[in-house]
Amino acid sequence: MKAMYSTRLFLLTLGLVVAGNNVLLAEPKSGYEYIKDETRALQDDDFDNPGMLTVDRGLELFNSLLPGASKRCANCHQQDGEGLDSKSIARYPVVERSTQTITTLQDRIIACTERTGVKALAPDDKNLVALQTYVRHLARGERVAVDTEGLDALLARGEKLYTTRYGLIDMACQHCHVFYPGTMIRGQHISEGMTNGFPAYRLDIGEITTVQQRVQQCLNLMRAEPFASGSEELRLFELYMTVRSNGLAIETPAVRY
Ligand code: HEC
Ligand code: HEC
């Protein structure tokens, strides 16, 4: 009863009117444009940006042996990952066209942790997220550049997920992030839900957060059952949302509320 009441109140505050459908934007805007000035200042200063601690941790892990490992990432990709190509990192997720398999940057790193001689790390493993944050940070300033050729079927599935209504509040992602960017909700401006800042540091929870974790958090906000970590649905979300973010400069680690 109480839940129903607060749900209605929530919808009322939002003013739920839906018109048109324009999910792939001609000119996407980074979440950076929607955050408060103080948050922007935090992100802009590497000494103040709390996400930089995770970048440093990722760098340290990159150059050292993971627990139980016989090889370092740096053994194959040079000290500090200097052998990695930032333009190539900006193209993730990548898709194997013949099998339509999505490989996110995290998937690639999981496969690579096995190359170091340890068993595959779980998607929410802190060491994995730190490595992922460090690697994506190497591409900071590069433009998000997912190659969309031959992705129609996967993007259609992503769009389906993005436009489906979920949870008690019976809304879809697009209701907030396509129709209502700029609207205030719980003291924050709703953004277009782009992925160029991720992994990003969230002040609200005080943690670095991957794109897929952010999707789970929005589903929680919608009072819906989030898709499981490592699920194909979250991979489709990430692919779809990163295509929406094509052209935006990578900000990792962004700071967000
Ligand atoms: C034994 C050598 C080896 C080790 C150790 C290794 N990698 Fe890799 N890595 C590769 C190879 C080879 C590729 C090329 C793509 C593929 O076949 O997966 C690659 C690809 C990558 C890519 C994608 C690069 C691109 O341009 O698409 C990233 C990112 C990466 N590795 C990160 C890591 C991290 C982080 C670690 C440590 C956990 C690590 N690698 C350990 C061999 C290694
Ligand atoms: C009721 C409104 C609402 C709905 C519905 C919603 N979100 Fe969000 N979302 C927010 C708010 C508020 C934030 C924090 C401010 C911002 O960055 O937009 C946010 C942030 C995000 C961000 C981070 C953007 C950035 O730059 O940091 C992503 C990505 C995101 N949402 C994805 C989703 C996905 C995927 C769905 C559907 C499963 C969804 N959201 C549904 C309100 C919503």
119-170 pLDDT, tens digit per residue, is 999 999 999 999 999 999 999 999 999 999 999 999 999 999 999 999 999 9
Q: Would the CB of 109 count as within 6 Å of ligand 1?
A: yes
Q: Please name the residue whose Cα sits nearest to atom 12 of ligand 2.
A: 190
CB-count exposure of residue 244 (10 Å: 0-12, 13-18, 19+):
buried
Residues 6+ apart with CB under 8 A from 213: 124, 229
Query: Has 218 been annotated as catalytic?
Result: yes
Rounded CA separation 74/169 (Å): 47
Nearest CA to ligand 2 atom 1: 176
Q: Which residues pair with 255 in a beta bridge?
A: 201
What the block records as the tokens of 228 is 């499981």
Maximum Cα interatomic distance, the chain, rounded to a whole number of Å? 58
Report the C-alpha gap between 115 and 123 in whole angstroms: 17
User: What per-residue confidence (pLDDT) applies to 186?
Assistant: 86
In the chain the beta strands, taken as DSSP E runs, fall at 94-96, 101-103, 184-185, 188-189, 200-202, 207-209, 255-256
Q: Which helix (H) or strand (E) holds 172?
A: none
Q: What's the confidence (pLDDT) of residue 219?
A: 97
Which ligand 1 atom lies nearest to the CA of residue 92? 27
Q: Which atom of ligand 1 is nearest to the CA of 111?
A: 18
pLDDT at residue 24, as a whole number:
55
Domains of the chain: 2-16+25-45+145-256 (1.10.760.10), 52-137 (1.10.760.10)
Q: How many CB atoms lie within 10 A of CB 72?
A: 16
Residue 104 CA to ligand 2 centre (angstroms) = 20
The residue whose C-alpha atom lies closest to atom 22 belonging to ligand 2 is 193
236 lines ligand 2 (CB under 6 A): no
Ligand located closest to 139 CA: 1
**CA nearest ligand 1 atom 12, residue:** 76
Within the chain, which residues score under 70 in pLDDT?
1-26
Ligand 1 geometric centre to CA of 75 (Å): 10
Whether 145 and 87 have beta carbons less than 8 Å apart is answered as yes
* The pLDDT of residue 64: 98
